[in-house]
Amino acid sequence: MPQLHPDLARVLISPEQIDQRVSELAKTISSDYKKEDKLYIIGILKGAFIFLADLTRKLEIPHTVDFMALSSYGKTTTTGAVRILMDLREPIEGMHVLIVEDIVDTGNTLSYLHRILKGRKPASVKTCVLLHKLRDSLDVPLEYVGFEIPDVWVVGYGLDFADRHRTLPFIGELKRE
């Protein structure tokens, strides 16, 4: 087994566990949307790019993939202001929308996104998130959750720390220091 990077305390979720859970999520989503013409999937950059690529390749229903990039300020404050850096390419009015996120931490990003997207009058908006940190309660529903995790810093499978460790094949816990 390759040695763990010195920044990391441990492997929290293995590649095999991720693969199995992503397959399960894809199966559930495919079944839930089988009656719809098409699902409009919105991946949130950068963190969701690996999860989105794996999830969408396992879906068994027609779908379109688009991306948004958001930046959040003041993660440690209660303001949690969010800004759109890159928007969708087309209107989503009347579409069944599925937001795909790597992680919901404070919930600020998702709460903002929900508000913005609902204002564009889609037929429905649901969220699929790989990791959900067990902390404050959220004001938006999470319909599909990969793993509930403790309140620790995580990297890998799309998630970064200062843009490092994004392409690790597993979810790792960072050392506190």
What amino acid positions are annotated as catalytic residues?
Answer: 105
Nearer to ligand PRP among residue 30 and residue 133 (C-beta): 133
Tell me the residue nearest to ligand PRP as measured from the CB.
47
Q: How many CB atoms lie within 10 A of CB 83?
A: 10
Is 104 within 8 Å of 133 (Cβ atoms)?
A: yes
**Single residue of 5, 21, 30, 46 touching ligand PRP by CB under 6 A:** 46
Angle between the N-to-C axes of helices 15-32 and 49-58, in degrees from 0 to 180, rounded to the nearest 10: 60
Say which amino acid occupies 84: I
Which of 8, 96, 97, 109 is close enough to bind ligand PRP by CB under 6 A? 109
For the chain, what is the total number of helices (H) and then of strands (E)?
A: 3, 9
**Residue 107 C-beta: closest distance to ligand PRP, Å:** 5
The residues in 10-29 that bind ligand PRP, with binding defined as CB under 6 A, are none
The two beta strands, 82-86 and 63-72, are: antiparallel
103 is a contact residue toward ligand PRP (CB under 6 A): yes
User: Which residues lie near ligand PRP (CB under 6 A)?
Assistant: 44-47, 72, 75, 101-109, 160
